Amino acid sequence: MANDEKKLHIAMFPWLAFGHMIPYLELAKLIASKGHLISFISTPRNIDRLPKIPPTLASLINFVKLPLPHVQNLPDNAEATSDVPLNLVPFLKRSYDALQDSVTRFLEDSHPDWLLHDFCPYWLPPIARKLGIPSAFFSIVSAAALCFLGTKAYFGERKSPEDFTVPPRWVPFPTTVAFRLFEVFKIFGQGITGVEDDVSDVYRFVDVLQGCDIVAVRGCVEFEPEWLRLLEDLNGKPVLPVGQLPTTAFDSEDDTDTWRWMKAWLDLQSKGSVVYVAFGSEALPSQTELTEIALGLEQSKLPFFWVLRTRKGPADTELIELPEGFEERTKERGVVCTSWAPQLKILAHESVGGFLTHSGWSSVVESLQFERPLILLTFYADQGINAKVLDEKKIGYLIPRKEQDGSFTRDSVAESLRLVTVEEEGKAYRDKAKEMKGLFGDRDSQDRYVNSFLGYLKTHLQSQKVE
């Protein structure tokens, strides 16, 4: 009984991307709501930009601000991937790696019961082991994406971009899940082979998978049972799904003011008619892509609400612009919002009938918890794998693109939007989105996953003491 009542101290160290920090914070809130203590480690500016937590959890979530060491070529105040264009992300990784000493000191001083870390700090599992702290790699990417990467035993086996466009030989069941060629081209250097002295993302992943004690995955058995089993078989260690972590919002007064005018516009639209367009904090279309998306939206004749980012931080010199006259021509049926928007509230509104998204998993979860069908346009990283998983299960529709360069047309955008949102042929996608609500938005199911995860963490600690 005493074991069940033990309150844990869990340290969390996510990668410096909001697509990673937010799911870590969601899990932190769920764990803290059970009375456990969280030390959430990140940089000062990132912590200040995180969503506010409920006052009831304030005493249980301790935000640990570690100043980000300066490295050459990284702009001042750049502390997250959303602050820099893609070509500067390697410098952000170098800066993150330079946090090694300060993270180690924190762990030595506080000695948490468990450490949950991301894919990036490949140097951290050996440090945790030396300090006697069990570590879990908490992956915000799916089990399918982790399986696709493989393990250290397979590292370097795939040498050409084309090798990544077919399912890996270690996947024993039939699947179509693989990258498309243009998606591999975008990540082949930084992500797969590494550039100059930089450690590649794939190496970080497989090294962390090998070094950690257990793997915690954002996901659920009901959605990807075969991938979760394979991940455990490949790595020879426990793989624990923690649920899909649907986002929970804590409103501030500023958010309410912003939402007021947006809701007023959405209220005027017919039920299920609006296309919501947003590509997260990381993905940014090129000027050519932006033009085709805009003209495709216009051509679709559907009402739309577009949250548009035109640059990634002050260091981004490639400002993208809407086609001339677009806003004027579509002002009667569309909104282009270039500031922050409450995505959860927009998706929850009954006028929204489809979501044009980059396939980032947080956006997928938010969409499906409100039964919104997905139109998929990938840009980077694991988005290509996510999109193929959704496509294979007929949960999302991939906008047709050229395999070699990923180009697409305004016609294909317009046709895809209409198909998924309003046309009879796309009803299967709308029905499937409704069916998914139970997996992606059920709070009781989410609670069971967190309880099961915490039960494992406690049992592991107890067994260590017995030994």
Look at residues 28, 30, 106, 35 and name the one whose alpha carbon lies nearest to residue 64.
106
- Residue 65 CB neighbours (<10 A): 14
CA distance 191 to 205: 10
- Which member of 83, 113, 118, 201 is catalytic? 118
| DSSP 8-state symbol, 159 | -
Helix (H) / strand (E) containing 129:
helix 124-130
3-state helix, strand, coil in the chain (%, to 5): 50, 15, 40
CA distance 250 to 261: 19
Looking at 322-426, list the stretches that DSSP marks H as alpha helix, in order from N- to C-terminal side: 326-330, 343-348, 361-369, 383-392, 410-421
CA distance 310 to 244: 30
Burial of 185 (0-12, 13-18, 19+ CB in 10 A): middle
What 3-state DSSP class applies to 194? coil
Q: Which residue has the tokens 């084309």?
A: 162
CA atoms within 13 A on the CB side of 436: 29
Q: What is the DSSP string of 414-432?
A: HHHHHHHHT-GGGHHHHHH
**What residues have CB less than 8 Å from 326, skipping those under 6 apart?**
294, 295, 298
Q: How far is CA 286 from CA 222, 283, 290, 310, 320, in A?
A: 36, 10, 6, 10, 7
Q: How far is CA 283 from CA 278, 280, 383, in A?
A: 9, 6, 10
Which conformational region is residue 371 in: left (phi greater than 0), alpha (psi within -120 to 50 degrees), or beta?
A: left
- Which member of 20, 36, 117, 358 is catalytic? 20
118 is catalytic: yes
70 is catalytic: no
CA distance 21 to 100: 18
Chain centroid offset of residue 398 CA: 18
- Residue 402 CB neighbours (<10 A): 12
| DSSP 8-state symbol, 39 | E
Catalytic residues: 20, 118
